[in-house]
Amino acid sequence: MSFRARLTTFFLIIVVVPMAAMGFLVFRLISDSQQAKTEARANGIASAAVSLYNEASRSAKLDARTVAVSLAHTPVAQVRSRAAALQSEVGIERITVSVGGRSVADVGARDALAPGVATVHSSSGRPARVVALSELSASQFASQLTGRGFGVVVRQRTRTLAATLPAAVGRDLPRFGQVDLNGRTYQTVGLDLSGFGTSPVQVTVLSDNSPTDGGVATDRVVAAIFILAFLALAGGFSLMASRALHSQLADFLAAARRLARGDFSSPIPTHGNDEFAALGTEFNTMSQQLAARLEELEREQQRVRRSIRSIGDAFAANLDRDALLELALRTAMDAVAADRGRVVTAREGGPELTELMRSGRVTGLEPSIIESEQSALGGDGIGQAWTKELAIATVALGEVASGGPTHGLITVARPGSSFNEDDLELLRSLAARATLALANVNLHRDVQRQAVTDDLTGLTTHGRFQQLLGAEMEQVRRYQYPVGLVMLDIDDFKSINDVYGHQQGDVVLRSVADVLRENSRDVDVAARYGGEEMALILPHTDLDGTYVIAERVREAIEALRVPLLEGSGALQITASLGAAASINGHKDELITAADNALYVAKREGKNRTVKADGQTANVLGGR
C-alpha cells in the first residue's frame, strides 16, 4: 500500500468514520427530540381532557345533590316523570335514579359523560335513593378539546360516543403509540374515565405528527450540511498535507536510492525547522557515517582475509579430522558471509560422497548443492550454483581425481549476490590449507595404526594386547564380570617354513588370522602374541563360553585349505588352543592359565582345545 493510500485510509479512520458516527447520533437525537415533543403535546392534551372531565364531574355532583334532595320525598312511581321534568327545565344532559339498587329512572342523552353521584338516606327506614347526573355530553366534551393538529375520540365499549376525526371511527386505536389516518401519522394517548353504571369511558387523544416531522427533516438537512462542510474542509486540508508530505518523502526516497547505489555525494535538501527538516539533517548525518563505516568495513575485510589465512596455517596442527573439517566449514562461511553450508567426504576405500556435517538450514537445497558439487568435481575444484534467493559455491579439499576429491568438498551458500573472484580465491586458499591439515591427520592416523597393528596379519600387536588386557582386567576388578582368553599356536609351523619357505609361512599366518577375526565378536580383541602364536581376548565370557569359541576357531582352522605359492595343491593345517577365564582381575595369572592349557593340548597330541581349571589343565575337546 502506497503512502498516499495509507494517508487516505488514516483520514477515513480519524475523520470520516467519527463524523459519520456523529451524524448518525445527531440524526437520532433529532428524531428522538421531535418524538418527545409529539408525545409531550399529546400528553398535555390528555391532561387537559382529564381536567375538563373531572371539573364537569364535580359540577355535576353538586347538581346531583340538589336533585336528590328534591326527589327525596317523591313517590317511586312518580320519580321518573319528576326526573324528566327536572332534566328538561334545568338543561341537564342525563339523570338516573336508583332505589335500593334498582333503577327507577333514566332520562336524557345516552352519550352523557362525567356523572356526579349523590345519595339520599330516608329517616323513616326506606331504601336510600342514588341520583347520578351529567351536565356534559360526549360531543360537547370532544368539541371543547378539539384544536389544530389534534383530535379526540370518545368510546364506551365498542360504541363511539363522539369523534372529531371521522377517519378514526371504527379503527383500533393503541392506548399509547402511533396510527396512520388519511396519510397522516398521529400520536395516541388513551384514557379510561368513569361513566354511568359500571362501563368506563375510553377517551383517546390523537396528536398530528406532521409539524414535528417537518421539523425533523429541516433539522436533519441543517445537520447534514454542517457535517458535509466539515468533511470538505478536512478533506481539503488533508489533500494539502498529503501533497506536502509526499513531496518531502519523494526527496527522502530519491536520496535513499542514491545511498543504495553507493552514492554518498548528494545530501537531502532541508527546509524550515520542522520534524522533516530534522529528519533530513539526521539522514545526511547517517549518510556520512555510513560512508565512513563502509571504508572501515573494507579495511576490516582485509584484516579478516589475513586472519583467515593465518587460521588456515593453523589447520596443520589439528589432528582431529572431524573437528578440523568443522573448523574449515565455519571459517569458510565467515570468510564469505555465508549463513549455511555442509561438508561431504569420500568414505575410506570408495569414491562415494556422503554428508559429514552441515551448518544452517540446507533442507530443500540438496539439488542445487549437488549441482555445485558436481561442477567442482568436473572442473578445477571450484563450482557454483544458484537458486532464486541463494548463491552457492563449492571448493574441493585436495586435487580432483577421476574418482572424486582426495578428502571431500566444502559447500557454502548465502542470500543475495553471487560469489566474486575474491570470494572464490579465498575459498581456494582456505581449502589448500585445510587439505594440508587433513594430510597430516591421515599421516598421524597411519602412524598410530602401524604402532598397534601387526603388519603381516593385521592383528593387534603384542604390546597393544598387553595394554588392552590390562585395561579389561581393571574393569573385571571393578564390576566383577568374567573375561576369557584363548591362546592359539599353529601346529608344526616350523616344518612349514623349512619345507615350503617363509613366504608360504606368511600366507599361513594371514589365513589363520583371518579365521580368528571371522570367528570373534566385535568386542573381542584378536592379537599376534608372537611368532606363530596368537591370542583372543573375550570380554564378558566365562570359561565354558571361552571354550566354545576356541573350539569353533580350531574347527575352522582344521577345515582351512591354504593354497601353495609354488605348484598346485593346498596345505591342511591344524592348531592347538588353550582356554582360560578370570573373574579376579589378575592378568598374569590368566595368561599363565591359558598358556598352560595350550601346552597341555600340545603334549596330548595337538589339534585340540584344552580348558584350564585352576592350576591344572584338562583335555576337554579336540581329537
Dihedral-angle region of residue 42 (phi above 0 means left; psi in -120 to 50 means alpha; beta otherwise): alpha
Query: Kind of pairing, strands 575-582 and 340-346?
Result: unpaired
Residues of the chain predicted below pLDDT 50: 316-317, 349, 403-404, 615-623
Query: Which run of H or E residues covers position 183?
Result: none
Q: What pTM, to 2 d.p., does this model score? A: 0.38
Report pLDDT for 618: 37
Main-chain dihedrals φ then ψ at residue 530, nearest 5 degrees: 160, 135
Gyration radius of the chain over CA positions: 62
Q: Collapsing DSSP states into helix, strand and coil, what is residue 356?
A: strand
> Which residue matches cell numbers 586472519?
307
How far is CA 363 from its chain centroid?
22
Query: Which run of H or E residues covers position 397?
Result: strand 390-397
Three-class DSSP labels, 461-495: CHHHHHHHHHHHHHHHHHHCCCEEEEEEEECCHHH
Report pLDDT for 623: 37
Report the 10 Å Cβ neighbour count for 416.
8
Q: Which of 100, 101, 103, 105 is nearest to 127 (CA)?
A: 100
Report pLDDT for 157: 78
d(C-alpha 362, C-alpha 392), whole Å? 11
* Sheet of 129-134, strands arranged across: 102-108, 94-99, 129-134, 116-120
Report pLDDT for 107: 87
* Rounded (5°) CA angle 225-226-232: 85
Q: Collapsing DSSP states into helix, strand and coil, what is residue 540?
A: coil
Report pLDDT for 303: 58
Task: Please name the amino acid found at residue 497.
Answer: N
Q: Which 8-state DSSP code applies to residue 166?
A: G
Task: Please name the amino acid found at residue 209.
Answer: N
